[in-house]
Amino acid sequence: MYKKKILIADDHALVREGIAAFLKLCDDVEVVAEASDGIEAIEKARKFHPDIIIMDINMPKLGGLETTIEIKKMAPETKVLVLTQYEDREYISRFLKAGVSGYLLKKAVGSDLTTALSVISRGELYLYSSIASEVVAGYLHGGKITDEESPYDRLTDREKQVLKLVAEGFTHKEVAEMLTISVKTVIAHQTNISEKLGIHTRAGLIKFAIQKGIIKIDA
């Protein structure tokens, strides 16, 4: 029997270990790698070619969304299952636009996870029950999950990655090294971000990133 190769990306070791331990009980899946941040997830995806990535939203360096965007470009056949505590429409909309195959909440039980993996393995979209309700409600109100386009949606995929890293306090040089682009290119992206958002200070970009849930502030 072919076992689906799984990559678990979550910044909490206990969460990764718990998921891995549960999936060891399943005959048709194999956890081939784990990652604690977005950059590592991209590297592990490139190395291990997983069939499915179980992806957290909030992670250091690149978050789940920015990581998903990069991986779908690199390996469009790789399926991404979002596993998170967030269930508001804006998050759901962002990830569906990025091409994820499923959206599952961390309050779900183990059988929900195995069902999600089976569904997306067949090439179908899996949405946790309350998430499905949000999607339906969104489309019943004008055909959109969100009521209006967010300024964030005006950014390119690369600009979204740069925004996340700049807002987390990384220098232009550090951002360039993580994304394997030049410092000059990073600065150009940040300039474009500022113009599109109408925000021209790093403090303003950080505030925007916090308000939109792009970065999190630990309590």
Question: Which residue type occupies 148?
Answer: E
Contact between 88 and 135 under an 8 Å Cβ cutoff? The reply is no
**Cα 128 to the center of its chain, rounded Å:** 16
- CATH fold, domain 4-140, is Rossmann fold (3.40.50)
Domains of the chain: which residue ranges? 4-140, 151-211
What is the DSSP-derived secondary structure letter of residue 6? Answer: E
pTM (2 decimals)? 0.84
Q: Is the pLDDT of residue 214 over 90?
A: no
Q: Is the pLDDT of residue 186 over 50?
A: yes
Nearest to 158 by CA among 139, 178, 134, 136: 178
Instruction: Return the SS3 of 118.
Output: helix
- Residue 180's region, left for phi above 0, alpha for psi from -120 to 50, else beta, is left
Q: Residue 134: its pLDDT value, please?
A: 67
Overall residue count recorded for the chain in this entry: 219
Half-sphere exposure (Cβ direction) of 53: Cα atoms closer than 13 Å: 36
Supply 5's token pair.
Answer: 């190769």
DSSP string computed for 19-62: HHHHHTT-TTEEEEEEESSHHHHHHHHHHH--SEEEE-S--SSS
- CATH fold, domain 151-211, is Arc Repressor Mutant, subunit A (1.10.10)
User: Could you read off the pLDDT of 130-175 as tens digits, one per residue?
Assistant: 887 666 666 545 555 554 567 888 999 999 999 999 999 999 999 9
CA angle, 166 as apex, 36 and 177 as ends, to 5°?
65
User: Could you read off the pLDDT of 1-56 as tens digits, one per residue?
Assistant: 789 999 999 999 999 999 999 999 999 999 999 999 999 999 999 999 999 999 99
- From CA 198, how far away is CA 163, in angstroms rounded? 13
